[in-house]
């Protein structure tokens, strides 16, 4: 969607190339290695602040030129519709009183939603093994396992749980965002429920190689800002279960640095850093 809209606004072809592999390393490395001439930009994801802590690569957000943040989704806490808990606070109390009984999933080992769970436990002075974590290939299979009774909770974004929530096969107990998810306004944040300021979110934005020309960045930033405000982009994101969160180049660069430090601290404390 961003590529299509950039093509229209700039009256130029924007070719989208998917570069998979290495838990995101391959795609991010392609951005880092490109010439800083504005011809190659990419969709940078929250994993840029996680991969090097895991020993998967040496690159980080410092090796990129931020242009615009386009998205953010807080980690949700989803349980089966017939689960005994009605709030995140009730669930956390149960975990404290019954360590090792609750099983969670939502992503692969060490992935963003696993990190969200571990950070939440640590923030509540609970050991990281207080909840059993079962790796999955993503939110969809984890949610299927949830409604089948194989696990007790997931910690993926609420938008990824939308189908299950809308069909009343699951219920959302809370969200780990700094504010409520606009698509799920009735779901309270952890801060509202427990007073904790802990949050964990996934985000996506556009960036390019380090040392891009400031005028090129400014032009792209302007185009991306218009896209973020457009009805077509917002409708697309809503239909996809994704949140829109825009930030300019300066603020996005700062976010990458702050998020890297925050996630590194959680990963270190949880024993995931190498």
**Alpha-carbon distances, residue 101 vs 18, 98, 165 (angstroms):** 40, 6, 24
Q: Is the per-residue pLDDT at 25 higher than 90?
A: yes
Give me the half-sphere count of Cα atoms (radius 13 Å) on the Cβ side of residue 178. 5
For 154, the 3-state DSSP assignment is: strand
The answer to whether the beta carbons of residues 170 and 148 sit under 8 Å apart is no
Q: Can you list the alpha helix ranges (DSSP code H) found in the chain?
A: 2-10, 25-33, 88-97, 112-123, 139-148, 162-166, 190-194, 214-229, 231-239, 249-270
For 269, the 3-state DSSP assignment is: helix
Please state the rounded mean pLDDT for residues 187-194.
94
Average pLDDT, whole number, for the chain? 95
Residue that wins the pLDDT comparison between 274 and 250:
250
Give me the half-sphere count of Cα atoms (radius 13 Å) on the Cβ side of residue 174. 25
Radius of gyration of the chain (CA): 19
* Residue 93 structure tokens: 């109390």
Q: pLDDT tens across 213-244, in order?
A: 999 999 999 999 999 999 999 999 988 888 99
Angle between helices 231-239 and 2-10 (to 10 degrees): 170
* Residue 257 structure tokens: 């640095």
Q: How confident is the model at residue 182 (pLDDT cuts 50, 70, 90)?
A: confident
Q: pLDDT tens across 152-162, in order?
A: 999 999 999 99
Q: Measuring CA to CA, which residue among 180, 165, 176 is closest to residue 202?
A: 176
Please state the rounded mean pLDDT for residues 165-174.
97
Looking at residue 239, its pLDDT comes to: 87
**Alpha-carbon distances, residue 176 vs 94, 187, 190, 234, 238 (angstroms):** 18, 10, 6, 22, 19
* Residue 98 structure tokens: 């019954």
Q: Is the per-residue pLDDT at 68 higher than 90?
A: yes
């Amino acid at each position: 969607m961003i590529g299509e809209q950039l093509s229209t606004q700039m009256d130029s072809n924007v070719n989208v190339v998917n570069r998979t592999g290495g838990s995101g390393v391959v795609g991010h490395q392609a951005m880092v290695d490109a010439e800083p001439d504005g011809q190659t930009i990419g969709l940078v994801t929250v994993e840029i602040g996680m991969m090097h802590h895991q020993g998967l690569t040496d690159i980080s957000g410092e090796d990129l030129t931020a242009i615009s943040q386009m998205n953010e989704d807080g980690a949700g806490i989803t349980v089966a519709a017939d689960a005994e808990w009605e709030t995140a606070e009730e669930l956390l109390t149960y975990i404290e009183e019954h360590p090792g009984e609750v099983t969670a999933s939502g992503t692969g080992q060490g992935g963003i939603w696993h990190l969200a769970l571990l950070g939440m436990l640590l923030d509540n002075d609970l050991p990281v093994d207080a909840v059993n974590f079962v790796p999955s290939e993503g939110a969809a299979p984890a949610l299927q396992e949830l409604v089948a009774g194989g696990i007790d909770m997931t910690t993926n974004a609420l938008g990824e749980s939308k189908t299950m929530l809308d069909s009343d096969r699951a219920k959302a107990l809370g969200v780990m965002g700094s504010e409520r998810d606009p698509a799920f306004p009735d779901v309270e944040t952890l801060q509202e429920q427990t007073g904790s300021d802990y949050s964990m979110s996934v985000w996506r934005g556009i960036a390019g190689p380090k040392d891009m020309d400031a005028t090129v960045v400014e032009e792209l930033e302007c185009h991306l800002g218009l896209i973020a405000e457009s009805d077509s982009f917002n409708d697309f994101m809503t239909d996809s279960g994704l949140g829109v969160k825009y930030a300019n180049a300066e603020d996005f660069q700062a976010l990458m640095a702050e998020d890297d430090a925050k996630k590194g601290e959680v990963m270190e404390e949880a024993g995931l850093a190498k």
